[in-house]
Amino acid sequence: MQAAEIDEEFPVVDIDSPALEAARMLAEHSLPGIVVLTADGQLYAVLPASQVVRFIVPSYVQDDPQLAGVLAESTADRAAEKLGGKTVRELLPQHQLTLPAANADDTIIEVAAMMGRLRSPLIAVMKEGKLHGVITASRLLAMALKCGLTEQALSAVVTGLKTAIQPAPTRVGVAPSTA
Amino acid sequence: MQAAEIDEEFPVVDIDSPALEAARMLAEHSLPGIVVLTADGQLYAVLPASQVVRFIVPSYVQDDPQLAGVLAESTADRAAEKLGGKTVRELLPQHQLTLPAANADDTIIEVAAMMGRLRSPLIAVMKEGKLHGVITASRLLAMALKCGLTEQALSAVVTGLKTAIQPAPTRVGVAPSTA
């Protein structure tokens, strides 16, 4: 199973679109992050939701987190005003992070390892230099569970755990040798 | 607006429950992460989805990411077998990370700053030592947008951007001085 076989379409934002639009898109659809493209459709950044949230944190607070605690509640409540008139480009992190991008023919484990290492809840899948699709953490887990364990094996695991008569097997699933 | 006013109920997993169950819960409900409690209901860990995905990555690959590329595709496909019989406790990171937990009376900006700093898509909200609820990144953005910008101000921002007749104002929204 290769990355390009399990990736999905995902909403993208243009780097020069209003930051407010990106934040609303993420909030309304509960997205795990956003994919930012340049005007000519090139992949520019993949931001996890936790970093999009930084859009509403004043930069002096980001520099000194202690300050967040002394902001009046009314000021904190109007934090989203910070987004008004800003573009996504203006709010991207100063230093470009490693792009969480996989190749079309990467395996599910390569994608999972990259996801864990870069702490990114979504991985862009590239094919011939273009964005082919996106793999989210939940999609990856769903596919791994689907192809790694049949329902039968799964139920054996659960039963095994419940009865706990014998030590848990180190390897459970569809063993080709018994097929 | 305080953390305890905007937090929500969120599925939790017991530290000794099967890792498979946690992975399935995350996959099926597209959760941004999981909240792990001890047997007596104490908050133990908050794992972003990107770290739950590591559950299916063999530890020798986590130690040396280059190895992911040399695993046969068939081996990679059976990665989820690794979860069989393991508990959440066995798969948690060795070193305890800073717990992404806020106090009930923290402001939205304190929560957002913590989220960004710890790169956690969800923040546990504690009240009197107990888990009161969880704030996800999308919930936080939704609330920030809701209370920070009225529809009228929002439309003014969008119009302003579209016409682009004048430079973007540095601060847009409901300015108390003009109310």
Q: Does the beta-carbon distance from A158 to B77 stay under 8 Å? A: no
**Which pLDDT belongs to residue B56?**
82
Tens digit of each residue's pLDDT (9 = 90 or more) over A155-165:
444 444 444 43
Note the pLDDT of residue B133.
97
Q: Does A27 sit within 8 Å of B138, measured CB to CB? A: yes
User: Which of A107-121, B82-96, B139-153 tops mean pLDDT?
Assistant: A107-121
Closest CA to A144 of A168, A108, A175: A108
Residues of A in contact with B85 (CB under 8 A): 157, 160-161, 168-170, 172
What is the CA angle A43-A47-A48, rounded to 5? 140
Residue B179 has a CB neighbour count (10 Å cut-off) of 5
Compute CA B121 distance to the chain's CA centroid, rounded to the nearest angstrom: 2
Q: Which residues are CB-contacts of B42 (< 8 A; sequence separation ≥ 6)?
A: none
- Which chain A residue's Cα is nearest to B100? A50
Q: What is the pLDDT of residue A29?
A: 93
- pLDDT of res. A172: 40
Average pLDDT over residues A119-125: 96
3-class secondary structure, A96: coil
Contacts of B79 in chain A (CB under 8 A): 108-109, 112, 144, 148
Rg (CA), chain A: 21
The pLDDT, as a whole number, for residue A79 is 61
Q: Report chain B's mean pLDDT, rounded to a whole number.
A: 79
First to last CA, chain B: 21
User: What pLDDT was estimated at residue B167?
Assistant: 41
Neighbours of B70 (CB within 10 A): 10
Whether residue B41 is predicted with pLDDT greater than 70 in this model: the reply is yes
Which of A10-24, A141-155, B158-172 comes out lowest in average pLDDT?
Answer: B158-172
Interval A138-155 mean pLDDT? 68
Place A82 in a pLDDT band, splitting at 50, 70 and 90. low
pLDDT digits (tens, 9 = 90+) for A11-70: 999 999 999 889 999 999 999 999 999 999 999 999 999 989 988 887 777 777 777 777
Least confident of A59-68, A108-117, B54-63, B154-163: B154-163
Query: Are A26 and A52 in contact, with CB atoms under 8 Å apart?
Result: yes
Residues of A in contact with B71 (CB under 8 A): 107, 109-110
Record: contact A141-B30, CB cut-off 8 A: no
Q: Which of B144, B17, B10 is nearest to B90 (CA)?
A: B17
B158: pLDDT strictly greater than 60: no
Q: What is the pLDDT of residue B152?
A: 39
Is the model more confident about A1 or about A154?
A: A1
Q: How confident is the model at residue B63 (pLDDT cuts 50, 70, 90)?
A: confident
Distance CA B34, CA B131 (A): 13
Which residues does B85 contact at the CB level (< 8 Å), separation at least 6? A157, A160, A161, A168, A169, A170, A172, B18
- In this predicted structure, the answer to whether residue B157 has a pLDDT above a threshold of 90 is no
Whether A158 contacts A31, CB under 8 Å: no
Closest by CA to A23, choosing from A42, A49, A45, A46, is: A49
Per-residue pLDDT for B96 more than 90?
A: no
Q: What is the pLDDT of residue B142?
A: 92
How remote is the C-alpha of A126 from its chain's centroid? 15
Nearest by CB to A84, which of B86, B118, B149?
B149
